[in-house]
């Protein structure tokens, strides 16, 4: 490795090292060992090859010196050719071993990335919804990318680098001292001139690199938020495009300025260290030539010393920054472990059973619930705050008690924030209750398998989410084994068949981010088609027709007729006319059920429901019939 390459590597390592001085944790080392254990055979081969390659690298300068001596001494041609062939053979072997070692390095590194990414991804998928409502998506994705790759470097680069450099350094020093201890000592005295600027300049460049990364992160966040469909709409309606552009340009110009300054510092840095290497070579040739002319050293030894000099400085410089490399890898591992140490709040019980076949009843028995505090479900680094809020969540549901018999419909009404949607999230076990029970067919959901709950309970929200994928892929999320005919049948029952059939790509039409290529009503009907394809026995509608115009609402109502037919259902609605024919209406206020009964009974009681109903329809003088086809059937 040349002095210039060594200089660039030293500078790069200093720039990208984590600014962290924590001591190694035995527990972290143990867990790292657990990830490395499946690859221990490849790691062992990798280290052995690194040692052999390092030894072969030192052999070449020594043989080159002997060639020079053979020429000076007018040795037989066969001697020179023999040495040349040996050097060529070593080069071929070294090249082959280097390729093999690179394959091992890539295999170990990529396998480790695979293990870490899949482990973190699977773990994150088990986290509660509260985790995702608090976490910045970009920060979480960074753990799966940047930190995982940083951890991988511990095996593919740092480990072999430390071992190989130590072997190279020891062998090189032994050989150089054997040739001339005086020249070796002087060469070592020049080392601080090489290493100190690398550390100092690397620190300055690291600060610039971090500042540029921060600006790029902010610009990335700005672009992500502004370039999404809802973000772009918001900016066009209420934003200030000129202000947005000016703010973006300020940061972009700062990144440009940092880039220019960084390029100049790098150039000065590498040029200075290259100059140091040239001075070191001049020292070797000057002092070596002096000894050679006095007969104290042969010409071949001078050449060997010059070639060995780069073999000496490269590992010394690399080892000088090895601590930074190791600490960077350790911090990356610890940031990955930090996510893995978050305990999922929803855990399937040992011996959990499936929901029994047949019609299903739903019951909430004396349920009280508070959303978990931040310290139980999140990390400060993922929320990008200094300290997480450790205060306990405020109780939002108090002694909720009701039962829905198989095939019945129960409606929840009340003011916004009363707790209706929270009830909807407890039934499919998106959260666990603090006290009381949520039961399906008389069995606590905490005793049921997650897969059977998902197969039994279907939830349609007012903003049914769609992935940036095709219609087909969004539907198959509900039932991956569904046939083409079943997909079209679900679309027909959701009143979307003609629309999808008219599209150029049909089922393979990409719906766009969050489904924004479709209208609100079309998007909602597609989520209902997905529900129909899943064929759940319990359906929960959480404001499924909210924010739709009358035309879209009518189409969604027809789709909902199919979704609710013969199923146990819980309907949450602000439009009270939509639930007049419900078997039971529950009025929720302040997280409590304050009234219950049929539409007629509650109106006659003159309580909170009657107030809500009269207020809602006082101005119109007529009633909408959102679920009339369903509820009056």
- The answer on 454 and 324 residing in a single domain is no
352 is a domain residue:
no
Q: Are residue 327 and residue 390 in the same domain, yes or no?
A: no
Give the domain CATH number at 33.
Answer: 1.20.1560.10
Beta strands in 343-474 (DSSP E): 362-370, 395-404, 409-413, 435-440, 443-444, 457-461
Residue 140 lies in a domain: yes
Does residue 348 lie in a domain region?
no
d(CA 621, CA 633): 24
Specify if 353 maps to a domain. no
d(CA 519, CA 472) in angstroms, rounded, equals 18
**Is 357 inside any structural domain?**
no
Burial 137-165 (b: 16+ CB within 10 A, else e): eeebebbbeebbbbbbbbbbebbbbbbbb
Per the structure, the complete domain to which residue 563 belongs is given by 362-631
Residue 156 placed within a domain: yes
Q: Which of 289, 307, 340 is the last residue of a domain?
A: 340
Residue where a domain stops, chosen among 340, 370, 404: 340
Q: Which residues pair with 569 in a beta bridge?
A: 409, 539
Dist. CA 538–CA 353, nearest whole Å = 18
pLDDT, residue 550, reads 62
Q: What is the pLDDT of residue 121?
A: 86
325 shares a domain with 457: no
Q: Is residue 345 part of a domain?
A: no
CATH number (domain holding residue 518): 3.40.50.300
- pLDDT at position 622 is 46
Q: What pLDDT score was predicted for residue 629?
A: 40
Residue 145 sits in the same domain as residue 242: yes
Q: Find the DSSP H helices in 494-597.
A: 497-502, 520-534, 550-564
Q: What is the tally of structural domains in the chain? A: 2
Same domain, 298 and 175: yes
335 lies in the same domain as 451: no
Q: 544 and 595 in one domain?
A: yes
Domain membership flag for residue 356: no
Q: Are residues 219 and 322 in the same domain?
A: yes
- The maximal CA–CA distance of the chain, rounded, in angstroms, is 121
Please state, as a whole number, how many other Cβ atoms lie within 10 Å of the Cβ of residue 66: 21
Low-confidence stretches of the chain (pLDDT < 50) are 18-23, 619-633
Task: Give 154-169 pLDDT, tens digit per residue.
Answer: 666 676 677 778 888 8
- Asked if 147 and 269 sit in the same domain, the reply is yes
Distance CA 288, CA 73 (A): 18
Sheet holding 592-597, edge to edge: 457-461, 538-542, 568-572, 409-413, 584-589, 592-597
Residue 206: per-residue pLDDT? 65
DSSP structure class, residue 448 = B
Same domain? For 322 and 366 the reply is no
Residues 551 and 484 in one domain: yes
Q: State residue 623's pLDDT score.
A: 41
Distance CA 113, CA 102 (A): 16
CB 375 within 8 A of CB 434: no
The pLDDT value recorded for residue 594 is 94
Helix axes 520-534, 484-493, angle to 10 degrees: 130
Are residues 321 and 390 both part of a single domain? no
User: Coil, strand or helix: which one is 598?
Assistant: coil
């Amino acid at each position: 490795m040349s002095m210039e390459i060594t200089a660039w590597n030293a500078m790069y390592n200093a720039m990208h090292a984590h600014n962290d001085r924590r001591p190694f944790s035995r527990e972290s080392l143990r867990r790292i060992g657990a990830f490395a254990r499946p690859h221990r055979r490849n790691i062992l081969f990798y280290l052995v090859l690194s040692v052999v390659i390092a030894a072969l690298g030192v052999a070449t300068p020594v043989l080159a010196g002997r060639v020079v001596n053979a020429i000076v001494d007018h040795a037989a041609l066969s001697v020179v050719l023999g040495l040349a062939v040996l050097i060529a053979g070593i080069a071929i072997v070294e090249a082959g071993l280097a390729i093999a070692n690179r394959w091992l390095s890539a295999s170990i590194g990529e396998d480790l990335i695979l293990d870490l990414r899949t482990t973190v991804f699977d773990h994150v998928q088990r986290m509660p919804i509260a985790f995702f409502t608090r976490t910045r998506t970009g920060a979480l994705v960074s753990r799966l990318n940047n930190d995982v790759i940083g951890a991988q470097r511990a095996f593919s680069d740092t480990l072999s680098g430390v071992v190989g450099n130590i072997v190279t350094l020891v062998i090189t020093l032994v050989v150089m001292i054997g040739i001339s201890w005086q020249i070796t000592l002087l060469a070592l005295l020049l080392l601080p001139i090489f290493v100190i600027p690398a550390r100092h300049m690397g620190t300055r460049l690291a600060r610039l690199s971090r500042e540029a990364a921060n600006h790029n992160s902010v610009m990335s966040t700005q672009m992500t938020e502004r370039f999404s469909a809802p973000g772009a709409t918001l900016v066009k309606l209420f934003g200030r495009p000129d202000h947005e552009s000016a703010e973006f340009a300020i940061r972009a110009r700062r990144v440009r300025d940092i880039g220019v300054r960084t390029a100049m510092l790098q150039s000065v840095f590498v040029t200075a260290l290259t100059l140091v290497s040239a001075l070191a070579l001049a020292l070797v040739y000057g002092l070596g030539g002096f000894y050679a002319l006095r007969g104290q050293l042969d010409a071949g030894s001078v050449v060997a010393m010059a070639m060995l000099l780069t073999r000496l400085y490269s590992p010394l410089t690399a080892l000088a920054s090895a601590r930074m490399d190791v600490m960077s890898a350790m911090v990356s591992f610890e940031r990955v472990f930090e996510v893995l140490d978050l305990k999922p709040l929803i855990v399937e019980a040992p011996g959990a059973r499936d929901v029994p076949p047949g019609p299903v009843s739903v019951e909430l028995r004396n349920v009280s619930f508070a959303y978990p505090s931040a310290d139980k479900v999140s990390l400060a680094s993922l929320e990008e705050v200094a300290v997480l809020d450790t205060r306990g969540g405020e109780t939002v549901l108090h002694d909720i008690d009701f039962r829905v018999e198989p095939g019945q419909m129960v409606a929840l009404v009340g003011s916004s924030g009363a707790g209706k949607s929270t009830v909807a999230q407890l039934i499919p076990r998106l959260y666990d209750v603090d006290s009381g029970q949520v039961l399906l067919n008389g069995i606590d959901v905490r005793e049921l398998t997650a897969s059977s709950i998902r197969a039994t309970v279907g939830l349609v929200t007012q903003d049914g989410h769609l992935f940036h994928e095709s219609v087909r892929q969004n539907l198959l999320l509900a039932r991956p084994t569904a046939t083409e005919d079943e997909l079209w049948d679900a679309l027909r029952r959701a009143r979307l068949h003609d629309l999808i059939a008219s599209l150029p790509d049909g089922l393979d039409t990409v719906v766009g981010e969050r489904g924004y290529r479709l209208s609100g009503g079309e998007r909602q009907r597609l989520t209902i088609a997905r529900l129909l394809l899943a064929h759940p026995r319990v359906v929960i509608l959480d404001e499924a027709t909210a924010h739709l115009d009358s035309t879209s609402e009518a189409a969604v109502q027809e789709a909902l007729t199919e979704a609710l037919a013969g199923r146990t259902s819980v309907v949450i609605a602000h439009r009270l006319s939509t639930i007049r024919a419900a078997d039971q209406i529950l009025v929720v206020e302040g997280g409590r059920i304050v009234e219950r009964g049929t539409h007629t009974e509650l109106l006659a009681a003159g309580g909170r429901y009657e107030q809500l109903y009269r207020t809602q329809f006082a101005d119109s003088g007529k009633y909408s019939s959102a679920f009339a086809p369903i509820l009056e059937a």
